[in-house]
A and B are shown apart, each in its own frame.
Chain A
Amino acid sequence: MALLEVVGATKVFGGLTAVDDVTFSVEPGTIGALIGPNGAGKTTLFNLINGFLPLTSGEVRFKGERIDGLRPHKVCARGLARTFQVVKPLQRMSVLDNVIASSFLRFPDRADAVRHAREILAFTNLSAVAGEISKGLPLGFRKRLEIARALATQPDLLLLDEACAGLNPTELDESIEIIRRIKDKGITILIIEHHMKVIMSISDHIVVLNYGAKIAEGTPTEVAGNPAVVEAYLGKGE
């Protein structure tokens, strides 16, 4: 059974259909990718999945149960965490405190929460900056902190919204490595990414959106050879 099933998801803002009857699923233990040109509705789809926005129509099922209509914190408590494209760290808190705040969800006792947060920091290569205030960190660290905070809630499914955007090549390799390690832990991932290197090297299954609608899906090779995808990205040939 698929871990996440999106069935006929539709979101209309006024006269604009931002997400148009999108259906896809994510199998447990895999990395799914959501790609598409700017404005294709990828982040809106994430917002529908984790409960930030109500669906106009359609269903979202997680572990076989409907989660559309639940508030985001309830969705998170069921094991579905997300990161944000625009990183949202607790600016005036240290990196460690940022992660502790998320750890409390599964570890109500402070000492346990701190211990778990330190493990997560080690896992995401952030131990060295644990004591630093997150506001002044370079983007690469803040992107990883975003992942660490989501991981600290012990999700079964992690939605990563452009977790690799704006990174330099070294940081990029490090993030890819971390995403692989997350998968190895048994956590399923759904990732939005523009970076083709990331998408092609890590994803098992790709869903392509354009103008809110699904135009293709399949393995990286299938998608890369699909004429509709090439057209969406590069325009129609003469």
Chain B
Amino acid sequence: MAQSSWFRNYKVAACVLVALAAAPLVPVLNSSYMLHVLILMLMWSVIGMSWNLLSGYCGQVSFGHAAFFGLGAYTAGILYLHGGVSGWWGLPASVIVVGLGSLVIGYICLRLRGPYFALGTLAMGEVLRVTAENMEWLTEGTMGIMIEKRTWVAKEPFYYIVLALAVGTFVIMELLVRSKWGYYFVAIREDQDAAESLGIDTTRYKTIALVISGVLTGLVGAFYTNYMGFIDPEVVFALHDISIITIMVVMVGGVATRWGPFAGALIMIVLSELIRAMPKIGTAHQTLFGVLLIVIIIYLPNGVMGDFRKVFRLVRRGAAPARAGGE
């Protein structure tokens, strides 16, 4: 059984990979705008997967993934600004910087449980934002860091870099979830006391989940600096635009599911772009966006992938009148 499901999963993953790799060759998608949307989608997939590891599998709900994203982004930005090297060195450098940063954040926050941990991480994101705003000698403060000349004008190279990041993250997640660590993460999520008494060093494994999660999100942050060419604390340490959206992506897609972060990123990005493009809505787009999310959460509490059967049934029923409530 395990063999055949491996094969099936592998097939789906391979198809998705081929489709994504070929996407820039499709005429409809090969515009600067569509590629930008795809890049955003993949970025959010990686952030979503990394959040999913810490919060979905290991059960430590983070409200502060902007901390990791921003640390990564500023690693690249500061290297470029003060180090005089290409911002791309920020990717390997961010692994070290965010890895150490995650250890510190973990040391402070992981002694807290449940909502207290969530609030602790939320505070860490805010602390780093304010720090970045005030350490002007290092970060240029609220002026932000501008990369004068971006590496490529075309979007394709950026697209393939972030695709590689997404594939790498996906593979890491697959290996982790099936390993001893994966079992330990879930055991901690389901019941930390039981896990501890069954010989699992919960502090250690929570720290491992947090560091992996943080480093992967930090890599996206470092990529973001190079891709957008401009960062400031309000953007990369944003509570609503990064930390909260991260949670939304995974909740909409399906917490602790393999494809949830991808599905969530796709839905969130497409929805947000569609609503933004609607005439006469203007700044109300965020309100509409919020309402849609509430609807999704009420009717698909396990996310699109978690409630896949339900979605499938709804779609198949098609024109048949949908009944309120459900099971």
Contacts and interface: CB of A to CB of B under 8 A. Distances in A.
Interface of A: 50, 52, 71-77, 81-82, 84, 88-93, 97, 100-102, 104-105, 108, 110, 113, 149-150, 152-153
24 contacts: A50-B197, A72-B193, A72-B196, A73-B197, A73-B201, A74-B201, A76-B198, A81-B198, A82-B197, A84-B193, A84-B194, A84-B197, A88-B191, A88-B193, A91-B190, A97-B183, A100-B183, A101-B200, A104-B184, A108-B180, A110-B178, A113-B180, A149-B194, A150-B198
B184 to A, nearest CB: 7
Which 3 residue pairs across A and B have the least CB separation, nearest first?
A76-B199, A88-B194, A105-B199
Interface string B249-286: 00000001000000000000000000000000000000
B102 interface: no
Contacts of B198: 73, 76, 81, 101-102, 105, 149-150, 152-153
Contacts of B256: 92
Nearest to B182: A101
B187 interface: yes
Nearest to B197: A72
Interface residues of B, number: 20
Contact of A73 (B180, B183, B191, B196): B196
B190 A93 contact: yes
A132 to B, nearest CB: 14
A92 B179 CA distance: 17
B197 A52 contact: yes
B186 interface: yes
Residue among B186, B190, B199, B200 with most chain A CB within 10 A: B199
Nearest to A104: B180
Interface of B: 178-180, 183-184, 186-187, 190-191, 193-202, 256
Q: What DSSP secondary structure best describes chain B's contact surface?
A: helix
Contacts of B200: 73, 101, 105
A194 to B, nearest CB: 22
Contacts of A108: 180
A91 B201 CA distance: 20
A36 to B, nearest CB: 22
Nearest to A150: B198
B194 A77 contact: no
B260 to A, nearest CB: 14
Given A110-B180, A152-B198, 13 more contacts: A71-B196, A72-B197, A73-B200, A76-B197, A77-B199, A81-B197, A81-B198, A84-B193, A88-B190, A90-B186, A92-B256, A97-B183, A101-B186
Contacts of B201: 71, 73-74
A90 B190 CA distance: 5
Contacts, number: 72
Nearest to A90: B190
A214 to B, nearest CB: 24
A149 B187 CA distance: 11
A101 B200 CA distance: 9
B255 to A, nearest CB: 11
A113 B186 CA distance: 16
Contacts of B179: 110
B191 A90 contact: yes
A27 to B, nearest CB: 23
A74 B202 CA distance: 11
Nearest to B2: A114
A226 B201 CA distance: 43
B250 to A, nearest CB: 16
Residue among A76, A88, A101, A152 with most chain B CB within 10 A: A101
Residue among A50, A90, A110 with most chain B CB within 10 A: A90
A142 to B, nearest CB: 12
Contacts of A76: 197-199
A52 B190 contact: no
Contacts of B202: 73
Contacts of B190: 88-93
B116 to A, nearest CB: 19
Given A88-B190, A90-B191, A110-B179, A101 B197 contact: no
A93 B201 CA distance: 20
B199 A153 contact: yes
Contacts of A104: 180, 183-184
Contacts of A92: 186, 190, 256
Contacts of B186: 90, 92-93, 101
